[in-house]
Structure formats: C-alpha cells, structure tokens
Amino acid sequence: MSAVTAARGWLRRMATAAPSAWHYDRVFRWSAIGAGVALAAFVLRLVDSPASHGSSSVPAASVPTSLGPSYGTAAGSSPAPPVSTVVPKIAPGRSLDGVAITPTPERDPFGTAPPATHR
C-alpha cells in the first residue's frame, strides 16, 4: 500500500464524514466557515497584490529633508528626560541573593473575587 493510496483513502473517508459533521458538530461547522473565509481573503489578497499596481511616489513636499531634534515636538518643549541608569534588583542574569522578600499584607484582594455582599 503506497502513501498515495493511503492518503486517497483517508481523504475519501473524511469527505464521506463531512456532511454528518457539518450537520451535528457546531465546532466543525464554524471552523469550516472560518477556513472558507480565510481562504477567500488569502486568494483575494493574492489577486490584489501591490506588485500589479506599480510603484506610487510620495510628493516631495511631504517628506522632511532632515530629522532634527525639533521634528515631531513643539517648538518650545524640552527634550525627553534622560533614561535612569539605576539597575533593577530583579533582572535577567542577576542573582536574587540581595533581594528582600516580604510577606503580602493580611488582606490582599489581588486575584480574588469580591465577596458576595458587594453587588
């Protein structure tokens, strides 16, 4: 039995099972619809590729000739503040020996559902 014969038999079994799956299985139905929409979008994108439109040029007046410090900022604003050079205590490649681990507060609501009294 060759691989082509096995693949053909598998495809035949899948084709005979598809109508039943379409009728009874919602997940199969919506997956098939989604696959069809994705295939249609892919084909339409290939047909409408930008290579077939040719190259378009941008008007020269809209492109700045130099990107100086005032480009994109207000005329009187100061430059951005400098980046802090302080190394964090927890970082990749750093040892956690110097980190002080403290217990959480008594009432820490993070990750919990609110009580039933607060509706």
Q: pLDDT digits over 33-80, tens only?
A: 999 999 999 999 988 876 655 555 555 556 556 665 555 555 556 667
Q: How confident is the model at residue 100 (pLDDT cuts 50, 70, 90)?
A: confident
Give the list of residues 6+ apart from residue 69 with CB closer than 8 angstroms, or none.
79
Q: Taking the model in full, what pTM does it have? A: 0.36
| Cβ–Cβ < 8 Å for 25, 18 | no
pLDDT at 103: 80
| Cβ–Cβ < 8 Å for 89, 98 | yes
Tell me 106's DSSP state: S
